[in-house]
Amino acid sequence: MGENNYAKELDVAVRVVHMACSLCQRVQEGLVSSIGNDHVKSKDDESLVTVADWSVQATVSLMLSESFSNQKVSIVAEEDVQTLSKSDSVGLLTAVVNTVNECLAEAPKYGLQSPKEALGTSQILEAISRCNSTGGRTGRHWVLDPVDGTLGFVRGEQYAVALALIEEGKVLIGVLGCPNYPRKKEWLNHHHQSYQSMPKISDTSDTWEKGCVLYAQRGSGEAWMQPLIHGNKKHTWSNSAQRVQVSAIDDPALATFCEPVEKANTNHSFSAGVAHSMGLKKQPLRVHSMVKYAAIAQGDAEIFMKFAQSGYKEKIWDHAAGVIIVEEAGGVVTDAGGHPLDFSRGLYLEGLDRGIVACSGTTLHEKLIGAVYASWESSNL
């Protein structure tokens, strides 16, 4: 498999994810400005997340089809078009159509082609509904999670846009857009509101910068990070990427471990048992979304573990892009039994042993797998 076979796919995917991040930021600015700090989740937030979800899916679908018009583009994605076609979502649909057209008009800024004229509702619905592939071990499939980390999005915290390319069941390309990822990792723990109200040192200071797109190609042994460009109209996107690598820390006492925020997504007490058994001393970093993979790839954390409730099935779009980026940055990702993740079995990661673990290197990974077994025996879940 030659390095450059996928040069165009990678290039287009990175540009499209930048566009999608800018779209999310636009929708999110509308969201954050409309809520106070005493924010309670209301129906409106739900609908704004929905607008972001649908709009990203439509935009990515349209852009990939346009860029690879010579092939039938197969896209596996989370959102299903049925809800959007219901009559009570007319307002949502209008918002989606406007958001997508605004975003597509900016395509040239990212070196991509804008449509000749604004697209109508039916074209946009069609683009969303084309994302109906079920993946599998044959052919080539793009895998998209338009807005990963809904609560993070609503609260102005961490969320991600994830796009990966799977061919013959193997992940070949991963692109992860993290619009709120802070340049200074100390901020990962801080919530957006406190972040917003901190005195600004000066607007040019890089302390306040956030947002990046990470990407990698299978077998290259390299992962890259590009800063996001923020709504500056004059600024055209340029490929100013820096290489990222996992942390060199292999002593559990110094390692930072991250896990999902919500209890519904992971067994916090089991993770705590594993952490204790392994000798992790730091408080866990609880972060929404696939941004946890981004933290490991960039060396801001060393370990990620997730043990979902039994019966929960992990979806490929929640992991594909993050896994390849961590691996190419020098890390290790497996299930909790130490087996590689299998992306060739359709929409879900079938046959997972207990959970998913990602580490910055083999030393920590071996200790973690050992700790999982030890904790499992003693907890007898």
Is the pLDDT confidence value at 201 over 50?
no
Per-residue pLDDT at 64: 96
Report the pLDDT averaged over residues 324-336: 97
Predicted confidence band of residue 309 (pLDDT cuts 50, 70, 90): confident
Q: Supply the angle between the helices 43-67 and 90-105 in degrees, to the nearest 10.
A: 40
Which of the following is catalytic: 50, 59, 99, 150? 150
Residues 6+ apart with CB under 8 A from 117: none
Report the pLDDT averaged over residues 358-364: 96
* Domains along the chain with CATH numbers: 3-244 (3.30.540.10), 252-379 (3.40.190.80)
Work out the angle at residue 148's Cα, subtended by the Cα atoms of residues 299 and 80, and round it to the nearest 5 degrees.
155
For the segment 86-135, what is each residue's pLDDT rounded down to a tens digit? 656 778 888 999 999 999 999 999 999 999 999 999 999 999 999 999 99
Per-residue pLDDT at 190: 56
Per-residue pLDDT at 117: 92
50 is catalytic: no
Count helices and strands in the chain by DSSP H and E runs: 11, 12
Q: Report yes or no: 365 and 334 within 8 Å, Cβ to Cβ.
A: yes
pLDDT, the chain, mean: 85
Residue ranges for the binding site for Mg(2+)?
Answer: 78, 145, 148, 318
3-class SS of residue 38: coil
Half-sphere exposure of 127 (CA within 13 A, CB side): 23
Residue ranges for the binding site?
Answer: 78, 145, 148, 318
Per-residue pLDDT at 235: 52
Per-residue pLDDT at 32: 61
Predicted confidence band of residue 263 (pLDDT cuts 50, 70, 90): confident
Q: What percent of the chain has pLDDT over 70?
A: 83
Q: What are phi and psi of 340, to 5 degrees?
A: -60, 155
Specify the residue for token string 């060199």.
Answer: 248
Query: Does the pTM of the predicted model rise above 0.95?
Result: no
For the segment 219-239, what is each residue's pLDDT rounded down to a tens digit? 999 999 999 875 544 456 666
Residues 6+ apart with CB under 8 A from 304: 257, 258, 259, 292, 293, 295, 296, 356, 357, 358, 359
Burial 270-299 (b: 16+ CB within 10 A, else e): bbebbbebbebeeebbbbbbbbbbbbbbbb
- 79 closest CA partner among 67, 96, 94: 96
Burial 109-130 (b: 16+ CB within 10 A, else e): bbebebeeeebeeeebbebbbb
Q: Report yes or no: 283 and 313 within 8 Å, Cβ to Cβ.
A: no
CA distance 348 to 289: 17
Report the pLDDT averaged over residues 359-377: 92
Per-residue pLDDT at 264: 74
CB count within 10 Å of CB 241 equals: 17
CA distance 247 to 297: 8
In the DSSP assignment, the letter for residue 235 is: P
Strongest mean pLDDT among 76-80, 304-308, 372-376: 304-308
Q: Report yes or no: 225 and 6 within 8 Å, Cβ to Cβ.
A: no
| More confident of the two residues 240 and 4 | 240
Q: Residue 254: which H helix or E strand, with range?
A: none
3-class SS of residue 30: helix
Per-residue pLDDT at 156: 85
Residues 6+ apart with CB under 8 A from 56: 20, 23, 24, 144, 146, 147, 161
Q: What are phi and psi of 178, to 5 degrees?
A: -125, 85
Which of the following is catalytic: 53, 266, 300, 334? 53
CA distance 250 to 28: 38
For the segment 134-193, what is each residue's pLDDT rounded down to a tens digit? 999 999 999 999 999 988 898 888 999 999 999 999 999 999 999 999 877 667 765 444
Report the pLDDT averaged over residues 31-50: 60
Strongest mean pLDDT among 168-172, 201-205, 372-376: 168-172
53 is catalytic: yes
Predicted confidence band of residue 260 (pLDDT cuts 50, 70, 90): confident
Instruction: Give CB contacts under 8 A, 24+ apart, made by 372-377.
Output: 372/274, 372/336, 372/337, 374/277, 375/270, 375/273, 375/274, 375/277
